[in-house]
Amino acid sequence: MRCPYCESEDTKVIDTREAGDTEITRRRRECLKCKKRFTTYERVEGVEIIVVKKDKRREQFDRQKLMHGILRACEKRPVKQEKVEKMVDEIETELRHKEKTEIPSQVIGELVMEKLKNLDEVAYVRFASVYRRFKDVKQFIKEIEEVMEKKGK
């Protein structure tokens, strides 16, 4: 494994853990050259997931694209990257456990919103505003009122 800091190939594994549902192995590593530590994730290569977009185009599921979208919603919020990575792992696992390999993008968007709502309400509203293409402030207010109503229950 190459060190992301100094590019050295001399690294050692310090700790190994199963991440969540045991489909992913998390390894803490240390570079023997620069002594910095980093984390790697090892996963079994599974069935290819195809995302069916709203306009019926099909594209391969891109974990990084999903991560990027969630991180954008969580920008400047007190949400740790580890929480986002865990969320992406959970979503990917749920998608891989579905019977079909072609998943509508709406299913993925709804999964993200469901998980974001529990993680950070502001990030949820941000994501929802892009995902649902809010056209005006009234839609923002309606979504915020729904969050507040559910929070009060």
Q: Dump pLDDT digits (tens) for 101-128.
A: 899 999 999 999 999 989 999 999 899 8
The whole-number pLDDT of residue 112 equals 95
How far, in Å, CA of 108 to CA of 112, rounded? 6
Q: Are 19 and 41 in contact (CB under 8 A)?
A: yes
Question: Which of 21-30, 65-74, 139-148 is predicted most confidently?
Answer: 65-74
3-state secondary structure 44-64: CCCCCCEEECCCCCEEECCHH
Per domain, the residue ranges of the chain are 1-44, 47-152
Rounded distance between C-alpha atoms, residue 6 and residue 127, angstroms: 35
| CA–CA separation, 90 and 20 (whole Å) | 8
How does the average pLDDT of the chain come out, rounded?
89
Percent of the chain residues past pLDDT 70, beyond the cut:
94
The residue with greater pLDDT, 33 or 141, is 33
The pTM score is 0.65
Q: What are 1-20's pLDDT values in tens digits?
A: 899 999 999 999 999 988 66
